[in-house]
Chain A
Amino acid sequence: MRSDKANTVVIGGGLVGMATAYGLVRDGVDVAVLDEGDLAYRASRGNFALIWVQGKGAGLPPYTMWTRQSATIWPEFARELEDVSGVELHLSQPGGFNISLDEGALGRRAAMLQRIDDACRGLPGFPAEGSFSVIDANELRKYFPEIGPEVVGATFNPLDRHVNSLLLFRALHIAFKKLGGRYLPNHKTATITPGNASFDIATEKGSVSASSLVLAAGIDNGRLGKMVGLNVPVRPQRGQILVTEKMKPFLRHPIQTLRQTNEGGLQIGDSVEEVGHDLGLRLGVLSVLARRAVGIFPHLKNVNVVRSWSALRVMTQDGYPIYDESRDHPGAFVCTCHSGVTLAAMHANVVAPMIKLRRLDDACGAFSTQRFHVPAAA
Chain B
Amino acid sequence: MFQRLPDISGTTVHFSIDGKPTTGIEGDSVAAALLVAGHNAFRTTAVSGAERGPYCLMGACHDCYVEIDGTANQQACRIRLRDGMSVLTQHGKRDLGR
Chain A interface residues (CB < 8 Å from chain B) = 146, 245-250, 263-264, 299-300, 302-304, 306
Given the known A-B contacts A302-B71, A304-B73, are A250 and B96 also in contact in the complex, defined by CB atoms under 8 Å?
A: yes
Instruction: Looking at the assembled complex, report how far the CB atom of A298 sits from the nearest CB atom of chain B, in whole angstroms.
Output: 11
Given the known A-B contacts A263-B47, A302-B71, are A247 and B96 also in contact in the complex, defined by CB atoms under 8 Å?
A: yes
Asked if B62 lies at the interface with its beta carbon under 8 angstroms from chain A, I say: yes
Contact A306 B97 (CB under 8 A): no
Within 8 A of A (CB), among B45-98: 46-47, 62, 71, 73, 92-97
Pairs across A and B, CB under 8 Å, 17 listed: A245-B73, A246-B94, A247-B94, A247-B95, A247-B96, A248-B92, A248-B93, A248-B96, A249-B93, A264-B46, A264-B94, A299-B97, A302-B71, A303-B94, A303-B96, A304-B73, A306-B62
Residues of B contacting A245 in the complex (Cβ-Cβ under 8 angstroms): 73, 94
Q: Contacts A246-B46, A299-B97 known; list 7 others, CB within 8 Å.
A: A245-B73, A247-B93, A263-B46, A263-B47, A264-B46, A299-B96, A306-B62
Residues of B contacting A302 in the complex (Cβ-Cβ under 8 angstroms): 71
Contact code string B17-34 (vs A, CB < 8 Å = 1, else 0)? 000000000000000000
Complex CA–CA separation, A203 to B73 (angstroms): 48
Complex CA–CA separation, A116 to B96 (angstroms): 37
Residues of B contacting A146 in the complex (Cβ-Cβ under 8 angstroms): 96
Per DSSP, chain B at the interface is: loop
Residues of B contacting A249 in the complex (Cβ-Cβ under 8 angstroms): 93
Interface centre among B73, B93, B96 (most CB of A within 10 A): B96
Complex CA–CA separation, A250 to B96 (angstroms): 8
Number of interface residues, chain B, beta carbon within 8 A: 11
Residues of A contacting B97 in the complex (Cβ-Cβ under 8 angstroms): 299
* A245 nearest in chain B by CB position: B73
Given the known A-B contacts A263-B46, A264-B46, A304-B73, are A248 and B95 also in contact in the complex, defined by CB atoms under 8 Å?
A: yes
Residues of B contacting A263 in the complex (Cβ-Cβ under 8 angstroms): 46-47
Contact A248 B94 (CB under 8 A): yes
* A302 nearest in chain B by CB position: B71
Residues of B contacting A250 in the complex (Cβ-Cβ under 8 angstroms): 96
Chain A to chain B: the 5 pairs with minimum beta-carbon distance, closest first: A246-B46, A264-B93, A248-B93, A247-B94, A248-B95
Residues of A contacting B93 in the complex (Cβ-Cβ under 8 angstroms): 246-249, 264
* B74 nearest in chain A by CB position: A304
* B71 nearest in chain A by CB position: A302
* B65 nearest in chain A by CB position: A245
Complex CA–CA separation, A302 to B92 (angstroms): 18
* A304 nearest in chain B by CB position: B73
Residues of B contacting A306 in the complex (Cβ-Cβ under 8 angstroms): 62
Instruction: Looking at the assembled complex, report how far the CB atom of A67 sits from the nearest CB atom of chain B, in whole angstroms.
Output: 32
Residues of A contacting B73 in the complex (Cβ-Cβ under 8 angstroms): 245, 304
Instruction: Looking at the assembled complex, report how far the CB atom of B21 sits from the nearest CB atom of chain A, in whole angstroms.
Output: 27
Instruction: Looking at the assembled complex, report how far the CB atom of A280 sits from the nearest CB atom of chain B, in whole angstroms.
Output: 23
Instruction: Looking at the assembled complex, report how far the CB atom of B62 sits from the nearest CB atom of chain A, in whole angstroms.
Output: 7
Complex CA–CA separation, A248 to B96 (angstroms): 7
